[in-house]
Structure 1
Amino acid sequence: MTMAQICLLVACLLPLGCTWLAKSKGFGKRRRDGGFDNHRPREWLANLSGWQARANSAQANSWEALPIFMAGLFVAHQHQASQATVDALAMGFIAARLGFIALYLADLASLRSLVWAAGLAACVALFFVS
């Protein structure tokens, strides 16, 4: 596997990690005691607050960021771009996503948006490497 392929796998798993963080408030509790409600998961998640609510939002944003990253990798591969360049951009995207999630959890909105833009820039750059 190339580093870019490993980064793709990581990018696919990041939303699941965010979901785990969001749902952690309900782990070990019965549903009637506020534990996670698998019968109405979206309603339960909508009632979260604080960092768990932000983790759920980071999960949604991670899913939203995934298609452009995948498309960028696909185009870079089609253009037979240098693997080292593709790997570096993919690692940059993952670093930005990890930073984005951490900043989302910490409620640092302006810095989070800046890091989000860096991740987007890495994705866009994948379209232009050759």
Structure 2
Amino acid sequence: MTVVLNHTIVPVADKERSARLLAALLGVEAGEPAGPFVPVRVNDELTLDFDDRLGARPGHYAFLVDDVTFDVALDQARRSGLAWGSAPRTVDRQINHLGGGRGVYIRDPDGIAYEFFTTVP
């Protein structure tokens, strides 16, 4: 059997806000609440379930994306006023070019870093 990560829980302060934020970065829709979670279906195999019952915890979620999705995420970060930069914990409003592609780290208000990159370094 092939192992596939199906879902993971993302602990946040406000599950609706955080799910909408990631959905906007990815250019997808947040799902309807399901029990205590608000899901964001990342692709056919992975859903991130946002949960605010225990409060926020910083985290890091990295996404290998195509150029169109990268541009959507970067545009959303620019328009929303989120902290973003070329490296973890760096807010230089620059992208990196590791591995010949483009990469950026976008932080949400809970301290979660969403990394978007277009090629594997």
Quickly name the TM-score band, shorter chain normalised.
Answer: under 0.3
- How high is the TM-score relative to the length of structure 1? 0.24
Higher strand share: 2
Higher helix share: 1
> Which structure ranks higher in relative contact order (CA pairs < 8 Å, sequence separation ≥ 6)?
1
- How high is the TM-score relative to the length of structure 2? 0.25
